[in-house]
Amino acid sequence: MVGIILVITILAKAWPWLRRAFRTIDALTSLADVLPALIDDVARIKHEVIPNHGGSLRDATDRTETAVADHGTQIANIEAGIQHATRQLAATKTTLARHTKQLQGLTKESE
């Protein structure tokens, strides 16, 4: 009888530790089931975020950044061309107005 009480007492005191040990073993078993899928997922993610000469999202992002920068340069060049054409147009309008006044003056003199 003393032996049974001793075993029950030991089990009662050890039970919280044993329960944690069993939970840890269950968690590790679940992790072992999930780990291969996680490894595959990480490999796919790594493939997308590391440049690999064209096929990754990182490569696509780099190409997009380059294209946007090129477009910015092209837009700046177009704006500069428009400003130059606007200045030329203003100068032409001024010259035309001056010549128009000169012609009007010549026309009045010849009358």
What tens digit of pLDDT does each residue of 9-53 get? 888 888 888 889 899 999 888 888 888 999 999 999 988 888 888
Q: How confident is the model at residue 1 (pLDDT cuts 50, 70, 90)?
A: confident
Is 43 among the domain residues? yes
> 2 and 31 share a domain?
yes
Q: How many domains does the chain have?
A: 2
Per-chain mean pLDDT for the chain = 90
Range of the domain at 101: 61-111
> 29 and 67 share a domain?
no
> 2 and 42 share a domain?
yes
pTM recorded for the entire structure: 0.52
Dihedral pair phi/psi, residue 83, rounded to 5°: -60, -40
Q: How confident is the model at residue 54 (pLDDT cuts 50, 70, 90)?
A: confident
Closest by Cα among 58, 35, 37 to 46: 58
> 77 and 99 share a domain?
yes
